[in-house]
Amino acid sequence: MRTTHERKAETRDRILAAAGRLFRSHGIDAVGVDAIMHGAGLTHGGFYSHFASKEALVAEVSASSLAHSAARWERISEEEAPPAALARIVESYLDPAHVAAMERSCVLASLGPDVARRHEVRPAITAAIRRMLAVLARCLPGRRQQRAFELLSAMVGAVVLARLCDDPVLADGFLQAGRRIAGLR
């Protein structure tokens, strides 16, 4: 039997999920509280019994989305041997499907500059970036730490640039470049 308290927590999660989806596809400032609540199947009024402000929601949704990505990378690196884990992480990140699916994409590549402007979110983002770097370092051979910084930079930059390119051939050039930095193919 589902208690009132559980029901509220589920609703809260639905709001977070809808906000994450809408923020990534349209940008944070282009999406109002009204649209977020509608995306969660609710009306706008109840919002403030779940979050103190839209800005508080923004902070929570960016931090939790990125933490979710970090956790997924950690899970992959525990399930598979280093080279296979690296390949899975990098290939899925540089997959044209990931480039196209803005609404489910990594926060670093879809909301990076917007999040960087909100200083109060940066501690949580920094923590998640550390976790992602640690996973990459664990999977990489050679000078692991340095190569993790290089690879994460290249992955994020490649997706941002591929999304900016009108020409699919040019976009693919960036994705291939990311794979080479990872040591794949």
Distance CA 182, CA 121 (A): 29
Neighbours of 71 (CB within 10 A): 13
Rounded (10°) angle between helices 54-79 and 122-139: 10
- Minimum distance of DNA from residue 13's CB (angstroms): 10
Neighbours of 123 (CB within 10 A): 9
Residue 2: which of a second copy, DNA, none does it interact with, CB under 5 to 8 A by kind? DNA
Interface with a second copy includes 136 (CB under 8 A)?
no
- Total chain residues near DNA (CB under 7 A): 27
Nearest 5°: the CA angle 122, 104, 34 is 80
Q: Which amino acid is at 135?
A: V
Interface with DNA includes 160 (CB under 7 A)?
no
Encoded one letter per residue, x for contact with DNA by CB under 7 A and - for no contact, window 33-72 reads xxx-x----xxxxxxxxx--xxx-----------------
Specify the residue for token string 């402000």: 53
The residues of the shown chain that bind a second copy, judged by CB under 8 A, are 25-30, 102, 108-117, 122-123, 125-126, 129-130, 146, 149-150, 152-158, 160-161, 163-167, 170, 173-174, 176-178, 180-181
